[in-house]
Chains A and B, each alone.
Chain A
Amino acid sequence: AQKITQTQPGMFVQEKEAVTLDCTYDTSDQSYGLFWYKQPSSGEMIFLIYQGSYDEQNATEGRYSLNFQKARKSANLVISASQLGDSAMYFCAMREGTSGTYKYIFGTGTRLKVLA
């Protein structure tokens, strides 16, 4: 069965340092997509970055990059130069299924605290 695993319930990082949030996935599909969302204390879900299973290069969006290791089934989020505003819950998600279904599976999240 498809599954997303985030093994770090909480993480601390010093301001301006880089941090890696872990995500592993399990799927038998050849075509899938991996997403990261940020949920600040205000509660909304903010899309950060996407990686397709056929993408050969790791995705990057500003200070966010996705370390995609297909053979290991991992899709870790790297945040460079952490800022206080990065303190939030982070969810890894996988889009399963092909055209017409688009079910998303979410991990349990990692709470990141950036220290001044």
Chain B
Amino acid sequence: NAGVTQTPKFQVLKTGQSMTLQCAQDMNHEYMSWYRQDPGMGLRLIHYSVGAGITDQGEVPNGYNVSRSTTEDFPLRLLSAAPSQTSVYFCASKDRGMNTEAFFGQGTRLTVV
């Protein structure tokens, strides 16, 4: 059981480049989300989705796009990378139960130079 899989694990981008961080889960979870983790700031919600075809913004959505065409996949797109987007990115999924925990991927460490 793979759980939540993020690719790539590490990435270096030049300012202005675009890329997509991939996230896939095999638990048939309805809810998926993207967080960024920066030193001293905990995890901050970027975008989330409560089901295929439904996405919404979190606390820090600027500079990021998402889509949810299938239950399994929830890619995060950086259209024009900026050094401020240097961070560790986590994808998480959970089922529809209110009180169940979220399962996290291993994280993607992104550096924008």
A and B co-occur in one complex: yes
Contact B98 A45 (CB under 8 A): no
Residues of A within 8 A of B58 (CB): 103
- What are 12 inter-chain pairs, A to B, with CB distance below 8 A? A31-B98, A33-B98, A33-B99, A35-B101, A43-B88, A44-B107, A45-B104, A91-B43, A100-B50, A105-B45, A106-B44, A109-B42
Contact A106 B102 (CB under 8 A): no
Contact B45 A104 (CB under 8 A): yes
Residues of A within 8 A of B41 (CB): 108
B31 touches A (CB below 8 Å) = yes
Given contacts A43-B107, A44-B104, A100-B50, contact A108 B40 (CB under 8 A): yes
A99 touches B (CB below 8 Å) = yes
When each residue 22-57 of chain A gets 1 if its CB lies under 8 Å from chain B and 0 otherwise, what string results? 000000000101010100000111010010100000
The 3 A-B residue pairs whose C-beta atoms are closest, nearest first, are A45-B104, A106-B42, A47-B101
Residues of A within 8 A of B98 (CB): 31, 33, 95, 98-99, 102
| Least CB distance, B49 to chain A, in whole angstroms | 10
Q: How large is the interface on A (under 10, 10 to 19, 20 to 34, 35 or more residues)?
A: 20 to 34
Residues of A within 8 A of B45 (CB): 103-105
Which one of A45, A101, A104 has the greatest number of beta carbons of chain B within 10 Å? Answer: A45
Contact B50 A43 (CB under 8 A): no
Contact B99 A50 (CB under 8 A): yes
When each residue 47-81 of chain A gets 1 if its CB lies under 8 Å from chain B and 0 otherwise, what string results? 10010100000000000000000000000000000
Contact B44 A102 (CB under 8 A): no
Residue of A nearest to B102 (CB): A104
B106 touches A (CB below 8 Å) = yes
Q: What is the bound-complex CA distance between A64 and B31, given in angstroms?
A: 27
Residues of A within 8 A of B50 (CB): 100-102
Given contacts A44-B106, A100-B50, A103-B58, contact A108 B42 (CB under 8 A): yes
